[in-house]
């Protein structure tokens, strides 16, 4: 077993393979106030693809990113380009009817071809390759679900079959197989697409956090740290819509973290991309690299801010990988976060009634390569005033009591009781108990205090009350961050925001 310099005995380098094998961009910060046609907030797959499509349609676009483009969630994906989203179609037909299930199927199948056509048209060297995708049953009980998924998907015209055997050496009980799906290196693809944005009135600004959006009378103003951007329309592709008050998105989605290992095995990885039907997820794909072939094993999801010793998830994932393959080495480990809506379908479209010029794209449920590309197509059509056939299933203003009311209520009662009061982050112990590499909530001088002791023994102390809506953040031991369980805001050890919806840092304690 090889362990690299990862924190506190975790295997391999603590870095996304995609990020390590591409160069960080260096676009300037917003220099001050400006006017543009459309403002796109967020430099992941949804934001960059939207900006490219709008620019091709003749708009002047300003893309604004709080950090560096393609370094957020898109930089940590497993990058499967597929319309097979574990098990979804049987459920969609049941909940939404076959008409809207068809929209979801068509939008995601079309997204595969949109990506393929960009790769072809711009000759993007991004390891794009067609592969089948599988969702397999790990237990006998799931076999019927997988069969039903194959039937449901086929009824929607998707390239689905049920197969008895998998080329993976895991014990399985059949799988649904989608032919002609794809995978790629997501950052090589996105950075190339992003290079098409600057020029002819369009531009990218990085290291510029948006703080507020105001709209009315056909004009939108985005207030950022560095100036105000005025435009006809704003696209919130920030993963979570930080400007959410009109839509109450904070109550309609939950944040979920998951984990990825990059491992080496001594045999060629089989042809395909794989994921199980059960929880927790076990996801597989391979990626060519200088060392030959890296195998990406992912999954072990949980709600953000829960299961506080997050290192355990990496260890469980490694144990699972070793139960399937004799793993020669673990070269990388990284984690990611995504949002899941109450009914499992993303929100794509106008933010809320009365806010028709502000668009959102969020809640991709870990299938962001196709849902993010579909979002770009839908929102571009909306801004251009063109009809789009997939808008209904994704409409953010849908509310289907049968589909989402129960989860909506349960979720909000949980949020109110567990997190705002900080039940899962009750203070325990005193400063002397906090070991190097450990983070804890303590009561210091009568105040709830988030304390982290680094490897050099220095103490970092913050007020752990999340600056978004006041839940109590929990320490994430694997990533060394404060994570809010309510809506997924994340802060570094000193309280600096690294992931919204929060836009303000945690307050320091004792400083």
Contacting residue, 22, 489, 493, 509, with ligand FES by CB under 6 A: 489
Contacting residue, 469, 474, 478, 493, with ligand FES by CB under 6 A: 469
Q: At closest approach, how far in Å is the CB of 240 from ligand FES?
A: 8
| Shorter beta-carbon distance to ligand FES: residue 245 or 397 | 245
The verdict on 361 binding ligand FES (CB under 6 A) reads no
Q: At closest approach, how far in Å is the CB of 494 from ligand FES?
A: 17
One DSSP character per residue, 207-266 reads S--EEEEEEETTEEEEEESS-EEEESEEEE-SSS-SS-TTTTGGGTEEEEEEEEEEEEES
> Mask 231-250, x = binds ligand FES (CB under 6 A)?
-------------------x
Q: At closest approach, how far in Å is the CB of 414 from ligand FES?
A: 13
Q: At closest approach, how far in Å is the CB of 472 from ligand FES?
A: 9
The verdict on 471 binding ligand FES (CB under 6 A) reads yes
Name residues whose C-beta falls within 8 Å of residue 499's C-beta, 6 or more positions apart in sequence: 72, 239, 337, 488, 489, 490
Q: What are phi and psi of 448, to 5 degrees?
A: -65, 125
Q: At closest approach, how far in Å is the CB of 79 from ligand FES?
A: 26
Contacting residue, 80, 143, 440, 487, with ligand FES by CB under 6 A: 487
Q: At closest approach, how far in Å is the CB of 459 from ligand FES?
A: 23
Instruction: Please state, as a whole number, how many other Cβ atoms lie within 10 Å of the Cβ of residue 163.
Output: 16
The verdict on 253 binding ligand FES (CB under 6 A) reads no
Q: At closest approach, how far in Å is the CB of 466 from ligand FES?
A: 3
Q: At closest approach, how far in Å is the CB of 179 from ligand FES?
A: 40
Q: At closest approach, how far in Å is the CB of 501 from ligand FES?
A: 6
C-alpha distance across the termini of the chain, in Å: 42
Contacting residue, 126, 466, 497, 503, with ligand FES by CB under 6 A: 466
The verdict on 191 binding ligand FES (CB under 6 A) reads no
The verdict on 327 binding ligand FES (CB under 6 A) reads no
The verdict on 495 binding ligand FES (CB under 6 A) reads no
Write the CA distances from 198 to 66, 167, 362, 462, integer angstroms: 17, 44, 25, 39
| Shorter beta-carbon distance to ligand FES: residue 90 or 462 | 462
Contacting residue, 484, 493, 497, 506, with ligand FES by CB under 6 A: 484
CA angle, 73 as apex, 466 and 438 as ends, to 5°? 50
The string over 356-373, giving b where at least 16 C-beta atoms fall within 10 Å of a residue's C-beta and e elsewhere, is ebbbbbbbbbbbbbbbbb
| Shorter beta-carbon distance to ligand FES: residue 348 or 486 | 486
Binders of ligand FES: how many residues, by CB under 6 A?
13
The verdict on 501 binding ligand FES (CB under 6 A) reads yes
- Quote the CA–CA distance of 45 and 369 in Å, as a whole number: 7
When computed from its CA atoms, the radius of gyration of the chain, rounded to whole angstroms, is 22
Assigned token pair, 415:
């949020």
Secondary structure of 144-185 in the HEC alphabet?
HHHHHHHHHHHHCCCCEEEECCCCCCCCCCCEEEEEEEEECC
Q: At closest approach, how far in Å is the CB of 250 from ligand FES?
A: 6
| Shorter beta-carbon distance to ligand FES: residue 96 or 419 | 419
Name residues whose C-beta falls within 8 Å of residue 333's C-beta, 6 or more positions apart in sequence: 6, 10, 11, 12, 13, 14, 259, 260, 261, 262, 314
Span from 59-67, 181-189, 272-280, 481-489 in contact with ligand FES (CB under 6 A): 481-489
The verdict on 502 binding ligand FES (CB under 6 A) reads yes
Secondary structure of 320-386 in the HEC alphabet?
HHHHHCCEEEEEEEEEEEEEEECCCCCEEEECCCCCCCEEEEECCCCCHHHHHHHHHHHHHHHHHCC
The verdict on 422 binding ligand FES (CB under 6 A) reads no
- Which 3 state secondary structure label does DSSP give 411? helix
The verdict on 497 binding ligand FES (CB under 6 A) reads no
Contacting residue, 253, 486, 497, 506, with ligand FES by CB under 6 A: 486
Instruction: Provide the binding-site residues for ligand FES, judged by CB under 6 A.
Output: 250, 466, 468-471, 484, 486-489, 501-502
């Amino acid at each position: 077993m090889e362990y690299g310099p990862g924190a506190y005995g975790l295997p391999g380098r603590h870095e996304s393979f995609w990020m390590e094998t591409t160069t960080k961009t260096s676009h300037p910060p917003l220099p001050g106030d400006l006017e543009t046609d459309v403002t796109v907030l967020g430099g992941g797959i949804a934001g960059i693809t939207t900006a490219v499509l709008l620019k091709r349609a003749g708009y002047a676009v300003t893309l604004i990113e709080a950090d560096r483009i393609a370094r957020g969630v898109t930089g940590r994906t497993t990058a499967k380009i597929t319309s097979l989203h574990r098990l979804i179609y049987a459920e969609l037909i049941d909940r939404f009817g076959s008409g809207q299930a068809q929209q979801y199927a068509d939008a995601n199948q079309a997204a595969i071809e949109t990506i393929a056509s960009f790769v072809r048209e711009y000759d993007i060297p991004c390891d794009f390759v067609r592969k089948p995708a599988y969702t397999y049953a790990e237990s006998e009980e799931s076999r019927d679900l997988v069969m039903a998924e194959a039937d449901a998907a086929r009824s929607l015209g998707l390239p689905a079959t049920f197969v008895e055997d998998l080329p993976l050496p895991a014990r399985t009980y059949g799988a649904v197989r989608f032919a002609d799906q794809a995978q790629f290196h997501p950052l090589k693809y996105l950075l190339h697409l992003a290079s098409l944005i600057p020029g002819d009135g369009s531009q990218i600004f990085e290291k510029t956090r948006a703080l507020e959006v105001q709209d009315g009378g056909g004009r939108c103003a985005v207030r950022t740290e560095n100036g105000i951007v005025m435009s006809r329309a704003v696209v919130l592709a920030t993963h979570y819509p930080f400007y959410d008050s009109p839509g109450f998105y904070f109550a309609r989605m939950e944040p979920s973290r998951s984990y990825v290992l990059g491992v080496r095995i001594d045999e060629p990885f089989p042809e395909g991309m794989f994921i199980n039907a059960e929880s927790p997820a076990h996801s597989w794909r391979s990626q060519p690299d200088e060392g030959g072939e890296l195998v990406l094993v992912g999954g072990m999801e949980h709600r953000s801010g829960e299961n506080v010793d997050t290192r355990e998830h990496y260890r469980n994932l490694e144990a699972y990988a070793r139960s399937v393959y004799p793993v020669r080495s673990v070269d990388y480990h990284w984690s990611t976060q995504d949002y899941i809506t109450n009914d499992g379908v993303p929100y794509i479209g106008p933010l809320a009634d009365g806010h028709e010029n502000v668009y959102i794209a969020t809640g991709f449920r870990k299938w962001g390569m196709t849902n993010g590309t579909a979002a770009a197509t839908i929102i571009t059509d909306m801004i251009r005033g063109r009809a789009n056939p997939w808008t209904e299933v994704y409409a953010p203003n849908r509310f289907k009591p049968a589909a989402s009311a129960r989860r909506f209520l349960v979720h909000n009662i949980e949020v109110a009781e567990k997190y705002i009061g900080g039940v899962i982050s009750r203070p325990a112990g005193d400063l002397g108990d906090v070991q190097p590499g450990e983070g804890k909530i303590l009561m210091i001088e009568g105040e709830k205090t988030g304390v982290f002791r680094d490897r050099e023994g220095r103490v970092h102390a913050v007020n752990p009350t999340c600056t978004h809506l006041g839940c109590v953040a929990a320490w994430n031991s694997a990533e060394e961050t404060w994570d809010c369980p309510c809506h997924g805001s994340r802060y570094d050890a000193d309280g600096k925001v690294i992931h919204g919806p929060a836009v303000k840092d945690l307050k320091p304690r004792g400083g």
